[in-house]
Amino acid sequence: MKVKTRFAPSPTGYLHVGGARTALYSWLFARHNQGEFVLRIEDTDLERSTPEAIEAILDGMNWLELGWDEGPYYQTKRFDRYRDVVAQMLEAGTAYKCYCSIERLDAMREEQMAKGEKPRYDGKCRHGNTEHAADAPYVIRFKNPEEGSVIFDDQIRGPIEIGNKELDDLIIQRTDGSPTYNFCVVVDDWDMGITHVVRGEDHINNTPRQINILKALGAPVPLYAHVSMILGDDGKKLSKRHGAVSVMQYRDEGYLPEALLNYLVRLGWSHGDQEVFSMPEMIELFTLEAVNKAASAFNTEKLNWLNNHYIRTLPAEEVAKHLEWHMADQQLDTSKGPSLEALVGVMGERVNTLRELAAQSRYFYEDFSDFEEGAAKKHLRPVAQEPLQLVQKKLAELADWTVEAIHNAIQATADELEVGMGKVGMPLRVAVTGAGQSPSLDLTLHLIGKERSLARLDQAVDFIVKRAAD
Ligand code: GLU
């Protein structure tokens, strides 16, 4: 049997990390089993679904590179099919028209609740109700079995059994002819040949109802795996209060998709004590049995650690591809400086996020006229004038602007003045970067370029002279 899974988000908001993890597990399971992965947009809730949310979900999936083999299907484009299935069910007697008024249903619910009973439809119309006008509005209900129970073997949680007495006759079509949520899911899973439903645990209660409808249709029943929720680091359900929850917000904050995916796969799944998984490794190792039943807590520090790991270890051109977005976002004109690959090579060690990397790299692309206050006070003092002028002279004389030649020029300056490297290096650093922190000086100067470095040294000497005069 060919495995076929799906991710079926409702487009009522962005793709949040919980949804992304469900998508990832579903995608990994399909890939692990050489199966297929379907993307289905469950947009039947016309009031809450928006085109922006559809766009945001597709953006998130694309950014994470969770590609689908089929779809995206849209439920709103399948209404004819749902109506046909409802008609078949009426014909087969597995569904019936219910004419009960809202007033009757409300009164019944109140009465049941007053008695401490679970509210449920009493089945008045199940066996035919003739007490209604010919044109009276009706809904269509599924004839849920009255006896026995539904048992399914949750691939994560183990066997789950629900008595049919607990389930009432679900409305599958509303008075306006529109199909209801659970019904669409069933018809879709059937039509799309889904073999494994991987979804959030908030859908566990829907599963027995869906299984009963599938059985009534004579459709194969897929296997189900309900993934637990993600909690914030305070143990409460993950929400906006905890910071970023939308996948694209993680992009905006400077995370690599590889890092977020690696983080998400470990959030509720494990393979020994391994923390770092490449995509091919995840595909090779992922199984539903190893997914944790318990809720998992989000841990930003670990995500940062993974992000730093991937910034350092992925091929620089891969990281550069993602960095480009951040450079543009921070209005950095990258045509006026080193290549992004080179920048990643030099700055990657020092940051947790691409946003930080971009923010700390401005001086490679833009000149500046102000020095960081504290750094200037400490390092651009009159005693720094001589070292700066001497190092400038030596740098100017370099025929090849290589890292090694730059390093030697700085060393030779310190030797000639008989001072430690720091007495040359720190003023030089502040002069060329405007601040007291940067990667190693030879690399930094190399990337900034000769002309620009020499001009900045002029600027720093002017600054010292002017300050001394004031
Ligand atoms: N549309 C549902 C949701 O976004 C998922 C339904 C399912 O996976 O069966 O929560």
Q: Which of 21-25, 119-123, 171-175, 325-329 has the lowest mean pLDDT?
A: 119-123
71 CA distance to ligand 1 middle (Å) = 15
pLDDT of the residue at 208:
98
Phi, psi of 370, rounded to the nearest 5 degrees: -115, 145
Check whether residue 119 and residue 26 sit in a common domain.
no
128 CA distance to ligand 1 middle (Å) = 33
Q: Is residue 451 part of a domain?
A: yes
Q: Is residue 350 part of a domain?
A: no
Alpha-carbon torsion (11, 16, 19, 24), positive or negative: positive
Q: Is residue 345 part of a domain?
A: no
Q: Atom 4, ligand 1: which residue's CA is nearest?
A: 9
Which residues, in sequence order, are bridge partners of residue 96? 141
Check whether residue 51 and residue 27 sit in a common domain.
yes
Average pLDDT of span 26-31: 98
Check whether residue 91 and residue 197 sit in a common domain.
yes
**39 Cβ closer than 6 Å to some ligand 1 atom:** no
Q: Which pairs from 115-119 meet CB under 8 Å and 24+ separation? A: 118/166
Q: Which of 45-49, 268-272, 284-288 has the lowest mean pLDDT?
A: 45-49
Q: Can you tell me the distance from the alpha carbon of 108 to that of 114, in angstroms, rounded to the nearest whole number?
A: 10
pLDDT of the residue at 260:
97
Pairing of strands 158-163, 149-154: antiparallel
**9 Cβ closer than 6 Å to some ligand 1 atom:** yes
Which one-letter amino acid corresponds to residue 376?
A
Task: Identify the domain containing residue 176 by its residue range.
Answer: 78-227
**185 Cβ closer than 6 Å to some ligand 1 atom:** yes
Q: Which tokens in the block code for residue 292?
A: 């944790």
**40 Cβ closer than 6 Å to some ligand 1 atom:** no
The question of whether 240 is a catalytic residue gets the answer yes
Give the residue from 385, 374, 386 showing the smallest Cα distance to 466. 385
Q: Is residue 314 part of a domain?
A: no
Average pLDDT of span 30-39: 98
Confidence of residue 286 (pLDDT cuts 50, 70, 90): very high
Q: Is residue 37 part of a domain?
A: yes
Q: Which tokens in the block code for residue 287?
A: 């199984």
Check whether residue 122 and residue 184 sit in a common domain.
yes
Q: How many structural domains compose the chain?
A: 3
Check whether residue 219 and residue 233 sit in a common domain.
no
Q: How far is CA 108 from the centre of its chain?
A: 44
Token look-up 């080179």 returns 342
User: In ligand 1, which atom is closest to the CA atom of 19?
Assistant: 4
**43 Cβ closer than 6 Å to some ligand 1 atom:** no
Helix axes 403-417, 441-448, angle to 10 degrees: 120
**222 Cβ closer than 6 Å to some ligand 1 atom:** no
pLDDT of the residue at 240:
76
Q: Residue 470 pLDDT more than 90?
A: no
pLDDT of the residue at 355:
98
Last residue of a domain, one of 183, 199, 227: 227
The neighbour count for residue 304, using CB atoms within 10 Å, is 17
224 CA distance to ligand 1 middle (Å) = 13
Check whether residue 157 and residue 169 sit in a common domain.
yes
**203 Cβ closer than 6 Å to some ligand 1 atom:** yes
Average pLDDT of span 434-456: 97
CB 282 within 8 Å of CB 64: no
Average pLDDT of span 47-72: 96
pLDDT of the residue at 219:
98
Three-class DSSP category at 6: strand
Query: Among 10, 12, 49, which is best to mutate for testing ligand 1, by the most ligand atoms less than 8 A from CB?
Result: 10
11 CA distance to ligand 1 middle (Å) = 10
187 CA distance to ligand 1 middle (Å) = 14
Confidence of residue 135 (pLDDT cuts 50, 70, 90): confident
pLDDT of the residue at 235:
82
Q: Can you tell me the distance from the alpha carbon of 383 to that of 427, in angstroms, rounded to the nearest whole number?
A: 10
Average pLDDT of span 120-131: 87
Check whether residue 153 and residue 286 sit in a common domain.
no
Q: Which of 237, 240, 293, 377 is catalytic?
A: 240
Confidence of residue 1 (pLDDT cuts 50, 70, 90): confident
141 CA distance to ligand 1 middle (Å) = 21
User: In ligand 1, which atom is closest to the CA atom of 198?
Assistant: 8
Give the residue from 49, 60, 44, 132 showing the smallest Cα distance to 96. 132
pLDDT digits (tens, 9 = 90+) for 228-269: 999 988 888 887 777 768 999 999 999 999 999 999 999 999
Average pLDDT of span 318-342: 97
Q: Is residue 105 part of a domain?
A: yes
Confidence of residue 134 (pLDDT cuts 50, 70, 90): confident
**42 Cβ closer than 6 Å to some ligand 1 atom:** yes
**10 Cβ closer than 6 Å to some ligand 1 atom:** yes
Check whether residue 101 and residue 21 sit in a common domain.
no
Query: Among 12, 16, 42, which is best to mutate for testing ligand 1, by the most ligand atoms less than 8 A from CB?
Result: 42
pLDDT over 70 percentage in the chain: 100
Last residue of a domain, one of 252, 275, 303: 303
Q: Is residue 353 part of a domain?
A: no
Q: Can you tell me the distance from the alpha carbon of 94 to that of 183, in angstroms, rounded to the nearest whole number?
A: 13
CB 353 within 8 Å of CB 255: yes
pLDDT digits (tens, 9 = 90+) for 342-371: 999 999 999 999 999 999 999 999 999 999
Last residue of a domain, one of 187, 202, 227: 227
pLDDT of the residue at 217:
98
CB 314 within 8 Å of CB 256: yes
Phi, psi of 21, rounded to the nearest 5 degrees: -65, -40
- Which CATH number covers residue 437? 1.10.10.350
Check whether residue 213 and residue 108 sit in a common domain.
yes
Q: Is residue 424 part of a domain?
A: yes
93 CA distance to ligand 1 middle (Å) = 28
Check whether residue 46 and residue 132 sit in a common domain.
no
Average pLDDT of span 276-303: 95
- Which CATH number covers residue 275? 3.40.50.620
Check whether residue 201 and residue 268 sit in a common domain.
no
Check whether residue 84 and residue 63 sit in a common domain.
no
Average pLDDT, the chain: 95
